Amino acid sequence: MKIPRFSRKTLCIPYAVFLIFFVIVPMLVILFYAFTDRNMHISFSNFIRFFSDPTKLSTIVYSLVIALITTVICLVIAFPVAYILAHSRMKKKFVILMLFVLPMWINFVLRVNALRELFNLFSSLDGLEGLANANYFKTVFGMVYDFLPFMILPLYTTMLKIDRSLYEASYDLGAGAVTTFVRITIPLSMPGVMSGVTMVFLPSMTNYVVSDMLGNAKVTIIGKFIYEYFGTDWHMGSMVALVLLIVVFVSTWLSGGFKSEENVRGTTL
Amino acid sequence: MAEHIIELQDVTKYFDDNLVIDHVSFYVNKGEFITFLGPSGCGKTTTLRMIAGFDLPTSGKILLNGEDISRLPPNKRPVNTVFQRYALFPHLNVFENIAFGLKCKRVENTYRNDKGEEYKKKEKLSKKEIREKVQKALALVDLEGFEKRSISTLSGGQQQRVAIARAIVNEPEILLLDEPLGALDLKMRKEMQIELKEMHKRLGITFIYVTHDQEEALTMSDTIVVMADGIVQQIGTPVKIYNEPANTFVADFIGESNIFNGTVVGEKKVKFCGKTFQCLDKFEPNEPVDVVVRPEDIQMCAPENGTLVGEVISVVFKGIHYEITAQVGKYELVISSTESREVGEKIGMNVSPDGIHLMKPKYTTNVFEGVITKHNTVKFADGEFECDVTQLYPGSHIDEEEYLITAQGEKIDLTDVAVRVEVGLNDIEISDDAEAGGTTGKIISIIYKGDHYRLIVRTEEEEEDFVFATDDLWNENDLVSVIIPKDKIKLSLKNTEEKKR
């Protein structure tokens, strides 16, 4: 009797099925909808409508700018935190790391809601009335608050993996603290920076819950756009989704996220 | 006299509460190849790291060319290190790795301005200078043409060479090498040993080398510093260290040796293994000594001509020589010889006077500081032992309330009185049963002394050592309990102000 043998390929089948039905097919559907009109005829009208509408284009730009600012602020805050945590000899540093990561475990909508209430409270104070209408500020603030852990964690794990003797070697060769930081710490932290940036930049372009709740619905980002179109016009919605896909693809490519070999080098050795 | 380039003066280093370096003093001559040798955890790497500046001494001074550098950060010291696991920068290629130090360097150049006045300016090295220096360093380690290679594509030996090039390109006054050959295979290691020695000759700078490999140390060094337990055991040339070990630790650690307990019986005469031998070292008559005889210093002969007569119990072929173990009475001797013998054969053995090395025994007795408890037991070395407290006062006895009554009829409460506890080397037993003895500890050292083993058991908390002789073979790092018979604990008062009642 022949015993049926499980090969590794067999184990891949469930995932392959999942991939086909939930990734590839939907992509094709989006592609189909994006280039058809309401009568299901092939057409470029969505494409033309999108790129001839200044509000749509400006939304894309706004989304990019908000995402960019959020990412930069997250990076500026997270880098020193991760650096200090990774280098401290504190026995309790796990606790401090948890304090930064813990918010991730609390419901996201709840946190944003709480933040909105806080903003409302502050804007009722004398001298802070301007806060009520600082929609972009509040949106960015909320996004930084939400996505910071996603920046800290990969940075922290990458920095933790850097061999301490590399710093010693740098000092030994005559480099001071600043030179060592610029020439050793920063380059070797790049894999962490890259994954942190990806994990913050992409969601902050599409996560419209924050911009809706904190920006008084005055701040429209691209994710909101897609959501609204799918209520009325699937064809236009698909086109916006496609454009977003391309923007993400290009920005990832520009930041070198696809050069996986480069990233691995710093961490494996 | 040669200049002292580095001098350690009474250096002590604690990590938290652990004493790692215990009042170490020595100096290094300019241009010599000096090796710190010792088992792992002996403090050799810490000593090196203090010279490099990665660790600061808790107390004591490190002088470089007579100047105190103890507190100077590593980047301000004219020394460079070759790290144990190379510590090459993975994001830089070979050229950039080697050029790293040069790019950090500022040289003082003298210029003349229009008025002809001289002025000095600190400047970076030019790209051309850096390129030339890197190429020279690469040539020195035989890696020409490797400039553009990424570190991860290099073999262990090549990485090793890059690490050396990266250090020497800065022209340091001292090159520190922290077990640099540890990660290489045997053949590669032998080759690198020779190359390093060559390099030392060519460069003319001081090499400070750390290793636990005694053969490596003997092969390469001008001077060896043998360390154990954070203490310098012996400093000397390889020949001196091998031929005249300062104590049984050095004798046991470097090369094979037979170690016996002996007694000096007269002018340059010593008795061990039941026979009297002529020797060269002078000691007081009747003094107990440790006797070290190297296996190659024992000559075999016909049974009737030998001072010692014994039976061969094992023969092992070692390539160039045979290692023969002979049983003489209750003693075992290891002999190395180019001649083979049959197991069971009777042989005679002689040792010439220059083959016998006498040394003062490091341990003659165990001394602890203890405290008497309420129940007239004594507490020391993490444990509590039954003892006879009446020995503190001659003629005294214990009354029914457990108070001590002296010969004069005085009543003394001994509770919490500090005492000095002395236990002889032959009065300690150990057991596997943790409950059997007064305290427990780990076996940290085993030295075979011909007919018995000398063990050291260290307690976990207070790190007190029990040194004693036993006939049984134990394993290092075994957890054992220490048993001392009541009558073998000798007590004496530490201070005379005992509490009176």
Task: Choose, out of A161, A166, A172, the residue to mutate when testing the contact with B (most B CBs < 10 Å).
Answer: A172
| CB nearest to B87's CB, from A163, A175, A190 | A163
Are residues B270 and B414 located together in one domain of the fold?
no
- Name every chain A residue with its beta carbon within 8 A of the beta carbon of B105: 174
Residues 6+ apart with CB under 8 A from A169: B81, B83, B87, B88, B89, B166
Here the CATH number for the domain that contains residue B462 is 2.40.50.140
Q: Which domain holds residue B323?
A: 255-359
The number of C-alpha atoms within 13 Å of B317 and in the hemisphere containing its C-beta is 3
Compute how many other C-beta atoms are within 10 angstroms of the C-beta atom of residue B185. Answer: 10
Looking at B329, B359, B389, which one is the last position of a domain?
B359
Would A164 be classed as within a structural domain?
Answer: yes
Placement of tokens 């920005």 in the chain: A251
Q: Structurally, how many domains does chain B consist of?
A: 3
Which residue from B78, B300, B55 is spatially nearest to B167, judged by alpha carbons? B78
**In whole angstroms, what is the distance from residue B112 CA to residue B234 CA?**
54
**Taking a C-beta distance cutoff of 8 angstroms, is the pair B21, B47 a contact?**
yes
Would B465 be classed as within a structural domain?
Answer: yes
Are residues B84 and B211 located together in one domain of the fold?
yes
On the question of pLDDT at B1 being above 80, the answer is no
- Contact call for A171 and B73, based on CB within 8 A: yes
**Per-residue tokens: A199:** 């994990």
**In whole angstroms, what is the distance from residue B425 CA to residue B334 CA?**
25
Would B249 be classed as within a structural domain?
Answer: no
**Taking a C-beta distance cutoff of 8 angstroms, is the pair A170, A180 a contact?**
yes
Residues 6+ apart with CB under 8 A from B45: B84, B178, B179, B210
**Taking a C-beta distance cutoff of 8 angstroms, is the pair B298, B348 a contact?**
no
The pLDDT mean for chain B works out to: 87
Taking the CA of residue A269 and the nearest CA in chain B, the distance in Å comes to: 6
Task: Quickly state the pLDDT bin for B30 (edges 50, 70, 90).
Answer: very high
The C-alpha angle with vertex B210 and arms to B204 and B212, in degrees rounded to 5, equals 140
Would B481 be classed as within a structural domain?
Answer: yes
What would the pLDDT profile of A32-47 be if each residue is shown by its tens digit? 998 888 888 888 888 8
For A173, B82, B208, the CA distances from B172, given in Å and listed in that order, are 10, 12, 12
For A183, B49, B86, B152, B335, the CA distances from A165, given in Å and listed in that order, are 14, 11, 9, 17, 45
**In whole angstroms, what is the distance from residue B249 CA to residue B478 CA?**
20
Residues 6+ apart with CB under 8 A from B149: B93, B94
Question: Range with the lowest mean pLDDT among A140-149, A185-194, B163-172, B356-365?
Answer: B356-365
Would A157 be classed as within a structural domain?
Answer: yes
Residues 6+ apart with CB under 8 A from A78: A148, A151, A152, A155, A196
**In whole angstroms, what is the distance from residue B89 CA to residue B100 CA?**
9
**In whole angstroms, what is the distance from residue A7 CA to residue B114 CA?**
83
**Taking a C-beta distance cutoff of 8 angstroms, is the pair B491, B392 a contact?**
yes
Taking the CA of residue B242 and the nearest CA in chain A, the distance in Å comes to: 34
On the question of pLDDT at B261 being above 80, the answer is yes
Are residues B114 and B172 located together in one domain of the fold?
yes
Task: Quickly state the pLDDT bin for B421 (edges 50, 70, 90).
Answer: confident
- Contact call for B85 and A187, based on CB within 8 A: no
Would B499 be classed as within a structural domain?
Answer: no
Would A25 be classed as within a structural domain?
Answer: no
Q: Which domain holds residue A165?
A: 80-267
State pTM to two decimals.
0.75
Q: Structurally, how many domains does chain A consist of?
A: 1
Would B76 be classed as within a structural domain?
Answer: yes
According to DSSP, the β-strands at B322-328 and B308-317 are: antiparallel
Closest chain B CA to residue A186 = B91
Would A110 be classed as within a structural domain?
Answer: yes
- Single-letter amino acid, residue B104: C
Compute how many other C-beta atoms are within 10 angstroms of the C-beta atom of residue A164. Answer: 10
| CB nearest to A173's CB, from B54, B100, B151 | B100
- How much is the pLDDT for A2? 59
Helix (H) / strand (E) containing A222: helix A222-232
- Contact call for B81 and A169, based on CB within 8 A: yes
Task: Quickly state the pLDDT bin for B497 (edges 50, 70, 90).
Answer: very low
- Name every chain B residue with its beta carbon within 8 A of the beta carbon of A171: 53-54, 73-75
Phi, psi of B321 (to 5 degrees): -140, 170
B57 interface with A at CB cutoff 8 Å: no
Q: Which ranges constitute the DSSP H helices of B264-399? A: none
- How much is the pLDDT for B499? 40
| CB nearest to A172's CB, from B74, B85, B90 | B74
Looking at B359, B391, B406, which one is the last position of a domain?
B359
Are residues B413 and B462 located together in one domain of the fold?
yes
- Tell me the sheet residues that pair with B370: B419
Sheet of strand B453-459: strand arrangement = B429-431, B479-483, B439-448, B453-459, B465-470
Dihedral angle of Cα B144, B146, B151, B155, to the nearest 10 degrees: -70
- Name every chain B residue with its beta carbon within 8 A of the beta carbon of A170: 89, 100
Here the CATH number for the domain that contains residue A95 is 1.10.3720.10
Taking the CA of residue A164 and the nearest CA in chain B, the distance in Å comes to: 9
- Name every chain B residue with its beta carbon within 8 A of the beta carbon of A188: 90-91
Which residue from B367, B375, B412 is spatially nearest to B392, judged by alpha carbons? B412
Closest chain B CA to residue A164 = B87
Q: Give the residue ranges of chain A where pLDDT is below 70.
A: 1-6, 255-269
A176 interface with B at CB cutoff 8 Å: yes
**In whole angstroms, what is the distance from residue B25 CA to residue B14 CA?**
16
Query: Crossing angle for the helix pair B127-140 and B156-168, nearest 10 degrees?
Result: 130
- How much is the pLDDT for B501? 35
Calculate the CA B25 to chain-centre distance: 14
Would A67 be classed as within a structural domain?
Answer: no
- Contact call for B91 and A187, based on CB within 8 A: yes
B105 interface with A at CB cutoff 8 Å: yes
Which residue from B232, B200, B234 is spatially nearest to B219, judged by alpha carbons? B200
Q: What is the 3-state secondary structure (H, E, C) of B159-176?
A: HHHHHHHHHHCCCCCEEE
- Contact call for A168 and B83, based on CB within 8 A: yes
Query: Of chain A residues 188-247, which have a CB less than 8 A from chain B?
Result: 188, 190
Are residues B94 and B154 located together in one domain of the fold?
yes
**In whole angstroms, what is the distance from residue A11 CA to residue A17 CA?**
11
Would A11 be classed as within a structural domain?
Answer: no
- Single-letter amino acid, residue B99: A
Q: Which ranges constitute the DSSP H helices of B169-255? A: 186-203, 214-220, 238-243, 248-253
Taking the CA of residue A173 and the nearest CA in chain B, the distance in Å comes to: 5
Instruction: Identify the three-state secondary structure at position B45.
Output: helix
**CA-based torsion, B177, B182, B185, B186: positive or negative:** positive
Which residue from B294, B296, B309 is spatially nearest to B259, judged by alpha carbons? B294
B221 interface with A at CB cutoff 8 Å: no
Helix (H) / strand (E) containing B234: strand B231-236
Query: Which DSSP symbol is given to B487?
Result: G
- Contact call for A174 and B151, based on CB within 8 A: no
Would B498 be classed as within a structural domain?
Answer: no
Would A19 be classed as within a structural domain?
Answer: no
Taking the CA of residue B162 and the nearest CA in chain A, the distance in Å comes to: 13
B73 interface with A at CB cutoff 8 Å: yes
For A94, A108, A199, A223, the CA distances from A102, given in Å and listed in that order, are 11, 12, 17, 26
**Taking a C-beta distance cutoff of 8 angstroms, is the pair B269, B289 a contact?**
no
Would B46 be classed as within a structural domain?
Answer: yes
- How much is the pLDDT for B36? 95
Would B500 be classed as within a structural domain?
Answer: no
- How much is the pLDDT for A202? 83
Query: Of chain A residues 250-269, which have a CB less than 8 A from chain B?
Result: 265-266, 268-269
- Name every chain B residue with its beta carbon within 8 A of the beta carbon of A172: 52-54, 74-75, 79-81, 167
On the question of pLDDT at B226 being above 90, the answer is yes
Phi-psi region of B463 (alpha: psi -120 to 50; beta: other; left: phi over 0): left
B223 interface with A at CB cutoff 8 Å: no
Are residues B259 and B322 located together in one domain of the fold?
yes
- Contact call for A265 and B91, based on CB within 8 A: yes
**CA-based torsion, B420, B425, B429, B432: positive or negative:** positive
Are residues B69 and B209 located together in one domain of the fold?
yes
| CB nearest to B89's CB, from A172, A174, A184 | A184
Would A9 be classed as within a structural domain?
Answer: no
- Mean pLDDT on B119-148: 89
On the question of pLDDT at B400 being above 80, the answer is no
**Taking a C-beta distance cutoff of 8 angstroms, is the pair B229, B216 a contact?**
no
What would the pLDDT profile of A256-268 be if each residue is shown by its tens digit? 655 544 444 333 3
Predicted-complex ipTM score: 0.74
User: Which of B83-97, B352-366, B446-460 shows the highest mean pLDDT?
Assistant: B83-97
Taking the CA of residue A57 and the nearest CA in chain B, the distance in Å comes to: 40
- Contact call for B75 and A171, based on CB within 8 A: yes
- Tell me the sheet residues that pair with B19: B14
Over pLDDT 70: what percentage of chain B? 98
Residues 6+ apart with CB under 8 A from B385: B377, B378, B379, B438, B439, B484, B486, B489
B125 interface with A at CB cutoff 8 Å: no
The number of C-alpha atoms within 13 Å of A220 and in the hemisphere containing its C-beta is 12
On the question of pLDDT at B80 being above 90, the answer is yes
Are residues B196 and B177 located together in one domain of the fold?
yes
**In whole angstroms, what is the distance from residue B105 CA to residue B99 CA?**
10
- How much is the pLDDT for A261? 46
- Contact call for A163 and B81, based on CB within 8 A: no
Compute how many other C-beta atoms are within 10 angstroms of the C-beta atom of residue B430. Answer: 22
Looking at B359, B394, B412, which one is the last position of a domain?
B359
**In whole angstroms, what is the distance from residue A181 CA to residue A112 CA?**
35
